[in-house]
């Protein structure tokens, strides 16, 4: 696998800007007052699919050889990655097969179906679904799209960080959620290429900490996978993200699921922003680092807003 570069990200933007509106960074007075710093939000929930993953699928399909497109593409997802691949396949005329866990987020499932992808339900969680997708790719000859070990996905989602730094050139710190790791890797590639002084922090649920454990131990490891925040729910680390995060990430923060839920409430109350669990995780991480952020310019990536009513109701119960 090739390591994505800043040049790859600029190339990706040429493709993505044809389909994705530019999302300006937004200053939050309420969160700034609460946190004691200049707090800005990168609201990827405002993209047409309600999540940052849209960028990666477009870049991948635009650059995929026609022979691979014609095979049909299969991937596993808890929702937003599946939306991204389904949407890109619709635009570029490829057949999409998306494997999701039983009980996957109903909003994301409906969105995937509406894009013409064939949905397959398998297993209790993402890891079960991923294993099934990989076996089908071998049996049926589909082009398997790995959720994180895909340089084109990483360079695509990294375009969000170009927009961050263009809007806030003197940003001190960027907090980004981490599930499989494509978003955090893209942030690292761009931020560290432009200014090594920018701190990048990845935030993951302590109930699904495989990325953190892999980063901490310097090798791909598995872990429990029990978080409610499906965008963070993966039970293993991955090779390409691990290599990038080991080289470039400043720190890794684990947060509890209740801290994520409380950050969903904070975003509603202080920033008029409705985020899903993964979308609120970066703010939960910033809250844990509050004492280190005084007087700094901080960007929190709200990676998605596809939250169900049930998830929202459960989060509101934790409001403090």
Closest Cα to residue 299, out of 26, 23, 18, 9? 26
Q: Find how far residue 7's CA is from the centre of its chain.
A: 21
Query: Which residues are 176's β-sheet partners?
Result: 202
Burial annotation 171-193 (CB, 10 A radius, 16+ → b, else e):
bbbbbbbbbbbbbbbbbbbbbbb
Query: What are phi and psi for residue 73, nearest 5 degrees?
Result: -110, 140
Beta-strand runs (E) in the chain: 26-27, 38-43, 73-76, 96-100, 118-121, 143-144, 173-177, 199-205, 251-255, 297-302
For residue 87, the SS3 value is helix
* Residues involved in catalysis: 53, 303
Q: Side-chain half-sphere of 205: how many Cα atoms within 13 Å?
A: 28
Closest Cα to residue 178, out of 107, 106, 251? 251
Query: What are phi and psi for residue 125, nearest 5 degrees?
Result: -150, -175
Closest Cα to residue 79, out of 318, 303, 309? 303
Residues 108/82, Cβ–Cβ less than 8 Å: yes
């Amino acid at each position: 696998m090739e390591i994505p570069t800043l040049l790859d990200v600029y190339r990706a933007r040429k493709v993505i800007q044809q389909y994705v509106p530019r999302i300006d960074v937004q200053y939050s007075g309420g969160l700034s007052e609460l946190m004691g710093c200049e707090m800005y939000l990168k609201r990827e929930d405002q993209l047409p699919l309600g999540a940052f993953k849209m960028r990666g699928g477009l870049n991948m399909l635009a650059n995929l050889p026609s022979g691979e497109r014609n095979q049909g593409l299969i991937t596993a997802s808890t929702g937003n990655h599946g939306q991204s691949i389904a949407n890109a396949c619709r635009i570029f005329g490829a057949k999409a097969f998306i494997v999701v866990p039983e009980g996957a987020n109903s909003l994301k499932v409906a969105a995937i179906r509406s894009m013409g992808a064939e949905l397959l339900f398998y297993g209790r969680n993402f890891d079960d679904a991923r294993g099934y997708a990989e076996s089908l790719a071998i049996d049926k000859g589909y082009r398997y799209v790995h959720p994180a070990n895909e340089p084109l996905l990483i360079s695509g989602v990294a375009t969000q960080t170009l927009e961050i730094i263009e809007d806030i050139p003197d940003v001190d710190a960027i907090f980004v959620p981490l599930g499989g790791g494509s978003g955090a890797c893209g942030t690292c590639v761009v931020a560290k290429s432009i200014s090594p002084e920018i701190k990048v922090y990845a935030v993951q649920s302590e109930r699904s900490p495989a990325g953190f454990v892999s980063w901490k131990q310097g090798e791909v490891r598995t872990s429990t996978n029990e978080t409610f925040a499906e965008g963070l729910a993966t039970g293993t680390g991955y090779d390409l993200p691990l290599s990038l995060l080991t080289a470039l990430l400043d720190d890794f923060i684990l947060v509890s699921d209740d801290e994520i839920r409380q950050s969903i409430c904070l975003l509603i109350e202080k920033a008029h922003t409705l985020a899903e669990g993964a979308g609120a995780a970066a703010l939960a991480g910033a809250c844990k680092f509050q004492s280190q952020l005084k007087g700094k310019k901080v960007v929190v990536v709200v990676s998605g807003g596809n939250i169900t009513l049930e998830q929202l109701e459960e989060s509101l119960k934790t409001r403090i």
